Structure 1
């Protein structure tokens, strides 16, 4: 096994991360970048090149998915809809158009994953469409440059690490809250930080997004990453967008919840879910949607 270096800025929680930031005077992205360089034994250019690979893969997944139509591989007829929703959205106005555009971006990548296309585990393949949808928004709608998008991705990595290290990102362990919930939390942090939010507001964005996925079961129909997984990516992206907006429009010092406690709640809730609601496909939609 390849040896890895030690991070110069160790932390195990968001509380500890904020203490590191306060003591060092460094920003979120500086801490994450320096840790990654030390752990992997590479320079900043190498880290940025990998961040670019992740971002380019996400953006390309959206583009490809918006061009494809037809059935997805499954034992039942399941039609792609990302392209249709995207085309319809372009004829709509205002907020309705944006809601449907964001949804189409998430659906595009999720449908591609279901068809065996290349996707980024962010944090899982079942939730691979949520972050790319907001990366696409950052690039095409908000015109953020690559540096801002890299920093946003580092903020998402922080949230993903904390969720995985202190709870889980596996539907088989904690239900879909660990997959779509964490993906939405990561996407909210990415969007907030890439658009200039402080560390504190970025945490609030991630907190809001994760909190409002608590209790979500994992009950795939037929064991395929189709129903309800694909549409859940779209709703995870929309919740992430709203969470980032709310976090930047409220007084963060007055926000009661914090990310560490919501992650603890996710773990506790996930462990309390009956096993059949944790990726077994034998309860919930996995049972009611099957033709017997």
Structure 2
């Protein structure tokens, strides 16, 4: 099975945890999704596929942007996340919205049927990204477009860098991972990303930097906010199977490190993404 480890991850304990935290992530990432949609300007009444749709909050925004007469299909490999997505309310005058549990890397899309392949942080998890993007490209109409966002390098994302640095003061670092392995930062290198898309048959590739403000906090105070961040960011993988006392030390460390960024009940940290567009060549 392609992406077997990702299937296991997103349908196991981690997938259930992400589903439980989905509303936190939806709120956190809504400004990014809104900015991406403003950047892409989807055609009214068109047919779009949301790749790696997760809990579907951005799928709803996409359906609103396309409007009545259009259609949005959200696809994801995670059953727990899709359960959240299917429970969402769809505003009036939005495009029709449905969800499908499948792997976009291998799913047999109807060739030449899709106007827009869209993704908000859902395309960084493919074992073979060229094969995956090639498969998705076949779904596009001749004048169809690809538009997605992905993270720039961790060093440029304060919201992940600071928690990871805090955690590694109390947890032994893991083996150095392959920077191109499936994960949040797999497409951070713009030259590699462009080469992947070109090898997949896309043309007119544009990779534009976009700065974002990541605002965390639901009014519970600094330490609770840091704990919420530790539960959903990349640092959460470092904390799996760690004893409660170690996690408490990591949260305390994070609260100390990030206190200067906590104002007005919010933890305000910088983020950096790529806005990527391409055409079916």
Instruction: Please state which band the TM-score falls in when normalised by the shorter chain.
Output: under 0.3
Give TM-score scaled by structure 2 length: 0.25
Q: Which has the higher helix share?
A: 1
Give TM-score scaled by structure 1 length: 0.25
Q: Which has the higher strand share?
A: 2
